[in-house]
Chain A
Amino acid sequence: MKSLRTGVLLVSPLLLVLAAAFVVPLLLLVPTSFQEYRPGAGIATDSWTFANYARIFTDEFYREVVLRTIGLGTAVTASCLVLGYPVAYLIVRGDPRWRLPLTLLVIFPLMLNLVVRSFGWIVLLTNRGVVNNLLIDLGLIERPLRLMFNMTGLMIGLTHIYLPFMVLMLVAALQNVPRDVEAAASTLGSSRFHVFRAVTLPLTAPGIIAGSILVFVLTISALVTPRMLGGPTYQVMATLIYDEYMQLLDWPSGSALSFALAISTIFIIWLSSRMTRRWAGLA
């Protein structure tokens, strides 16, 4: 069969690259995560242990980092949803002339370098930063507020970074809501708010779920912004993995954490795609 041969020829270069530089490296993390790290001596390859995985749940520090990461993911997702919905609504339902400029203003921060965006938030949020100086000048506070190296800083920075994804998902969902359904509801006497709550919101639910899953997954695996705004002490899972590998050289613990993170994200994505499929089946 000629087309099969052509197909193999077309696919195999990329498959080889992915096998050699993606699949095999990930699989090699599995044995590492079951090995023992002896400080000073290195990684013991002769024994196998579950300790690296057990530690994620039993060690207080690890547990705190995991819970913080999940809490951060939930909070950032919620604030992206609340802030993103009005923006998407204005883009889709507002004056059509404003549509393109507004869309570009949403895409622009998305295209802009992540490090630069986080750096911008450092300038804004440090003790002698723009926000604190402004608040002091206005006489609202006397002493700088602590806006970085804590939950506040990470929440603001990560919300800023993942908000455009949410807006774009919601724009796509809102575009699919047929206008005449809303019109029908209002002719039948519904108030504006009731139309929104009873018609628009449920019809955009698939977009809300897709956007939320995306933002949640991106937040729990983010490294750059948490590191820059949380510093080396306020850790999340990704920054902890970074430190295990680069500073502590404890690769077994790092790879166990990596697997915990990767499996969580894959599970969440799998669950959401199942949910949306059922949703589509019901509609």
Chain B
Amino acid sequence: MLAELGLAMLWLAAALAGLQLVAGSVALTKDGEGLGGIVRPVAVVQGVLAAAAFASLIWLFVQTDTSVKLVAENSHSAKPLIYKIAGTWGNHEGSMLLWVTVMGLAGGFVALVERRLPERTMMATLAGQAFVSLGFYAFLLFASNPFQRLNPAPQEGNGLNPLLQDPGLAFHPPTLYLGYVGLSIAFSFAIGALVTREVGPAFARAMRPWVLGAWIFLTLGITAGSYWAYYMLGWGGWWFWDPVENASLMPWLAATALLHSASVLAARNALRAWTVMLGVVAFSMSMVGTFLVRSGILTSVHAFAVDPRRGGFILALLAINIGAALVLFALRAGTVTEGERFEVTSREASLVFNNVMLSSILGIVLLGTLYPLVTEAMGVKVSVGPPYFTPMSAVFAVPMLVVLAIGPLLRWRHDRFKRVSPVLAAPLAVTIIAAIGFAVGGVTSTMSLIALSLAPGLAVASVLPLRGRHLGRAPLSLWGMVIAHLGLAVALFGMGADGAFTKERLIAARVGESVDVGPWQVKLGAITPVAGPNWTALEADLVASYDGASPDHLKPQSRTFWAPPQTTSVSALHTRWNGQLYTVLGEETHDASSAAMPTGRWQLRLWWKPFVPMIWLGGILVALGGFLALLSRVRQDLKRRTVRARGDIRRGDREEREAA
């Protein structure tokens, strides 16, 4: 009964999205203004209904109702509760339902709180949001119904991909989705502003908190995903340039560019067409990424729920949504003037430069992700990996990081380089000293050397905007920027350290044997079988001591799940302030002459990775910076409303301009 109820609510939500589109569009015409009143309430109810449909699917998973096809295919009664819940979105249909739910809720929230845009633009925005949602509703209802029944119902479900049975990953997709779909709001705002030709500071200010929010979730999602791959896949790497990873990186790059260009538009009324374009591109990248991952068109080490039949449907959605937006852009962008001017040495110019660099990296990642497709169509199978992506993106990332150090010190509109050059002496000196130090210290990899020398300089430059200020009274948005840029420097240092300092040992050890890796001595203490709720495993007891200090025990496992049957290795990590010891237990080795003859030697893979956790610490700092900036925007917004209520509009606007 619950499944039918969920499906009914989904249909109703879809119908309301249709109503929202029609009423919102009619409200834009002269005769239809009266209809505008219903658009906001409809948007809210649509969001609530989508959320209720999603909630019923979660409940079906919690109960392991195997009469529902999706549950039978992806869950199992023996699974821990948290993974039953996570199983809801750990599959194609469920994740698409999560997608429309987040879209619906976000649209409803915009309808409730956003009051500063002109009403006509707001109607166009909500109609745009409904237009995009409708496609996804149609996709769910006609091509991938999550509530489909199975008759007869199997006694037991198939289980969830064991790789997904990890607390980090259970919450990773929803985090990314909040990011992807948050960008749909930016997209809708861009459509709304283009339709009514109201591309100005008000549009940028209305859109900015949404972009910030989506960007924070994307940052956290990418950071968590990278850490997950690092400790779960047991290969010790933190970024693979896999299509699935690129699918989340591309919208992040576009959103980062959008964030900065929206700041220019909000503060200086410049970069209008560019900002609108990025609004369209950012969400397009979310959709393109989803399409590439879900359609099975690209092979990936971790593409889940791949189905080429559905690829056609998502492609059609993509073509309609993005195609329509780009046509609108081409028709209208010419009527949107570029706004205020600025000079080459100015805050705006540095942000334009950052935008161009980010877009170039985006282009490179997109090209590299699609290239195997092109060659496969011509009959050649290739895979494009780190040898292409890393140096190509570094070509643009390095100049961007240099300008990132200078830009925040420049004034809006025009500045003299002479004014800031003395201030830049400090970060420059730190960079040169670091470069010499690491080169002399034996770092031979060029990439690592660049990262390790730029990072400290960038860190110093990041905090320079705070100099001469009373730290407690510096605006929150300034703190946000400083911390985000500092986080980038921290992450950069971790990336460089990984390439430069990592020590690796791969051995076949008997119980009782010891091995050195970097400053660690690791002894294989014992191999014991252990059992979990739905797996059995062999567990190694590794006794690891750092520089002769009292030892720590690490317990990596080689784990076998039985529903569905699959073996994965669960690494064990020990984190110190100066790095991480990473251990993986492999198979027992076998005699060369007879495959079935065990030798009593176990494969052990050990890494000592100095400073590598800084990669993810940096990611968290970047997200924290975004959060502070968002907090400051929301606070200003509330203040502005109070000020406006007092009728003192000018003061509010001036404050906002200063803080931007």
User: Real complex partners, A and B?
Assistant: no
- A residues with a Cβ closer than 8 A to B are none
- B residues with a Cβ closer than 8 A to A are none
